[in-house]
């Protein structure tokens, strides 16, 4: 009964809001009419050209203002729109002197929201410094802590390979067992593992990304959704994260797996336009669903339920101070909810930024190499290497697999030399370490070493 009364009150408030908008529009038109009547009256006293010129200037100005307002107040919202500007201002008012916004985890989500809006990160005093301090407090046993933080680091334009003294790419890879990331009973660390590694610049065709992608697809439920765990019921949050992860690593938006995920989300859209978790529509689930819909190339404004879209629902939860509530009746974790809502309303989705100075930049290297065997020189000459496809034997399955190295490497130089010199090179892949190992070169084996510039 209480929820029914609250729903009625919300509908009445929406109706009142629409009525006020209509009245405001009537007042504007009335004032405009009186103004132009005044201009006409002046025309009787002045030359008609001067009066017409004044009227024309005012009319163009009013039309331009109307067009600008219309452009900035529709989905996807512009960073300068009132909705986004007020949300950002709220986060600014909640920032402490040390750079923190809420708690460490919320600060990371806030950093992503701030950067999604193309804010100058330097104007958010000490935010990056605070993220560096948080590195010491991330749970060494919890993959999602490092994945979330890596996303914030990249969003702020920092180097994920060396931030706060940590290589986040290697740290996340430490949770990888050759098939999935983190706890084998959980899927959320796999969703965010893909998203964070892609954000850090790891190539989508790398073995770790493709193996985890396969694991995620294998655990899609019959209803098209995903759960936070490998054996749970599907939910909106997990399904939205899975869709963003799959699309980030190259899954086609039109594929069956993505379309089934979208169909599950459609089944969970409520009559108020929002998306449910724990039996109630809320801003967190709706924000992630909107981002997943955008990642899939669809417009959430077209997802209408009872005349309301998820965007309508999300905007209706904005408080007067610019923050976003969890839902109509519960106002909690406002910094957190606001940090989710901002990228969603901007039409962005995770990852909000991709680091451009690591594996995803393919350069070439040309140099002279010499390969020494046990009894003499196997090959010597010049090679040019950029990215490399390595055929390696998986020691767990004993199957030959293709591995892609998207940047110049010593192994790439060896493979290139073997093709030029027509000698054999056997490479093994160890899934538990996610590493490649040279077993033999031209029949010689055991513990190969290499020098670069004789060092």
CA distance 74 to 178: 45
CA distance 160 to 168: 5
Q: Are 315 and 338 in contact (CB under 8 A)?
A: no
| pLDDT tens for each residue of the chain, 455 residues long | 443 443 444 344 444 444 444 444 444 445 444 544 444 454 454 444 444 444 444 444 444 444 444 444 789 999 999 999 999 999 999 999 999 999 999 999 999 999 999 999 999 999 999 999 999 999 999 999 999 999 999 999 999 999 999 999 999 999 999 999 999 999 999 999 999 999 999 999 999 999 999 999 999 999 999 999 999 999 999 999 999 999 999 999 999 999 999 999 999 999 999 999 888 999 999 999 999 999 999 999 999 999 999 999 999 999 999 999 999 999 999 999 999 999 999 999 999 999 986 444 446 787 788 898 888 889 888 888 877 888 999 999 999 888 878 778 889 899 988 988 888 999 998 887 778 889 899 888 866 666 665 55
Tell me the CA distances in angstroms from 253 to 146, 311, 353, one per residue in order: 28, 21, 20
The candidate with the shortest Cα–Cα distance to 369, out of 358, 354, 359, 379, is: 379
pTM of the shown model: 0.68
Please report which residue ranges of 94-187 form alpha helices under DSSP H. Answer: 104-116, 127-134, 143-155, 168-173
3-class SS of residue 260: helix
The string of DSSP letters for 320-386 reads TTS-B-SSSS----HHHHHHHHHHHHTT--SSS----SSTTS---EEEEEEEE-SSSEEEEEEEEES
Instruction: Give the tokens for residue 412.
Output: 């790439």
CA distance 365 to 359: 14
CA 292 and chain centroid, separation:
9
| Torsion angle, alpha carbons of 269, 271, 272, 277, to 10 | -40
Q: Which residues pair with 440 in a beta bridge?
A: 426, 445
- What integer pLDDT is reported at residue 359 of this predicted model? 45
Phi, psi at 317, each rounded to 5°: -95, 5
Give Dmax (Cα) for the chain: 109
At what angle are helices 334-345 and 82-93 packed, to 10 degrees?
150
Q: Are 385 and 414 in contact (CB under 8 A)?
A: no
User: How many residues can be counted in the chain?
Assistant: 455
- What integer pLDDT is reported at residue 455 of this predicted model? 52
Produce one character per residue of 367-403: b if its CB has 16 or more CB atoms within 10 Å, e if not.
eebebeeeeeebbeeebebbbbebebbbbeeeeebeb
CA distance 273 to 226: 21
Instruction: Give the tokens for residue 56.
Output: 């024309």
Query: Is the bond preceding residue 76 a cis peptide, omega within 30 degrees?
Result: yes
Q: Are 6 and 328 in contact (CB under 8 A)?
A: yes
Task: Please state, as a whole number, how many other Cβ atoms lie within 10 Å of the Cβ of residue 220.
Answer: 21
* Torsion sign across C-alpha atoms 147, 137, 164, 103: positive
Q: Which residues pair with 166 in a beta bridge?
A: 163
CA distance 104 to 122: 19
Angle at 289 between CA 107 and CA 276, to 5 degrees: 100
3-class SS of residue 34: helix
Query: Is the bond preceding residue 351 a cis peptide, omega within 30 degrees?
Result: yes
């Amino acid at each position: 009964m209480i929820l029914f009364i609250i729903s009625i009150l919300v509908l009445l408030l929406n109706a009142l809001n629409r009525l006020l908008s209509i009245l405001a529009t009537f007042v504007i038109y009335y004032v405009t009419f009186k103004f132009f009547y005044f201009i006409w009256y002046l025309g009787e006293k002045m030359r008609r050209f001067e009066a017409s010129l004044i009227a024309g200037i005012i009319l163009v100005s009013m039309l331009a203002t109307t067009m600008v307002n219309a452009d900035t107040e529709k989905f996807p919202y512009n960073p300068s729109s009132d909705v986004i500007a007020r949300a950002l201002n709220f986060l600014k008012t909640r920032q402490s002197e040390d750079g923190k916004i809420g708690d460490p985890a919320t600060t990371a989500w806030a950093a992503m929201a701030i950067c999604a809006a193309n804010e100058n990160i330097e104007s958010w005093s000490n935010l990056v410094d605070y993220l560096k301090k948080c590195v010491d407090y991330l749970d060494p046993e919890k993959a999602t802590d490092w994945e979330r933080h890596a996303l914030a680091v990249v969003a702020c334009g920092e180097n994920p390979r060396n931030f706060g003294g940590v290589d986040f790419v290697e740290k996340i890879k430490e949770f990888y067992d050759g098939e999935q990331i983190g706890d084998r009973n959980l899927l959320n660390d796999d969703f965010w593992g893909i998203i964070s590694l892609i954000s850090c610049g790891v190539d989508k065709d790398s073995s770790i990304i493709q193996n985890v992608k396969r694991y995620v697809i294998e655990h899609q439920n019959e209803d098209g959704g995903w759960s936070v765990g490998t054996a749970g019921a599907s939910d909106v949050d997990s399904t939205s994260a899975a869709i963003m992860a799959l699309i980030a690593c190259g899954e086609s938006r039109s594929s069956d797996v993505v379309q089934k995920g979208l169909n599950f989300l459609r089944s969970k859209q409520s009559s108020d336009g929002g998306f449910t978790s724990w039996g109630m529509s809320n801003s967190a689930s709706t924000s992630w669903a909107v981002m997943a819909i955008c990642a899939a190339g669809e417009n959430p404004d077209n997802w209408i339920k009872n005349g309301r879209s998820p965007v309508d629902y999300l905007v209706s939860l904005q408080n007067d101070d610019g923050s976003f509530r969890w839902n109509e009746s519960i106002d909690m974790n406002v910094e957190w909810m606001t940090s989710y809502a901002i990228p969603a309303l901007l039409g962005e989705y995770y990852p909000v930024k991709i680091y451009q100075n690591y594996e995803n930049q393919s350069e070439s290297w040309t140099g002279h190499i010499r390969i020494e065997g046990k009894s003499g020189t196997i090959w010597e000459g010049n090679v040019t290497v950029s990215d490399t496809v390595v055929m390696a034997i998986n020691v767990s399955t004993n199957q030959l697999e293709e591995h892609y190295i998207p940047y110049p490497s010593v192994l790439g130089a060896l493979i290139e030399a073997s093709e030029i010199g027509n000698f054999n090179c056997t490479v093994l892949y160890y899934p538990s370490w996610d590493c490649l190992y040279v077993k033999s070169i031209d029949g010689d084996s055991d513990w190969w070493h290499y020098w670069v510039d004789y060092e």
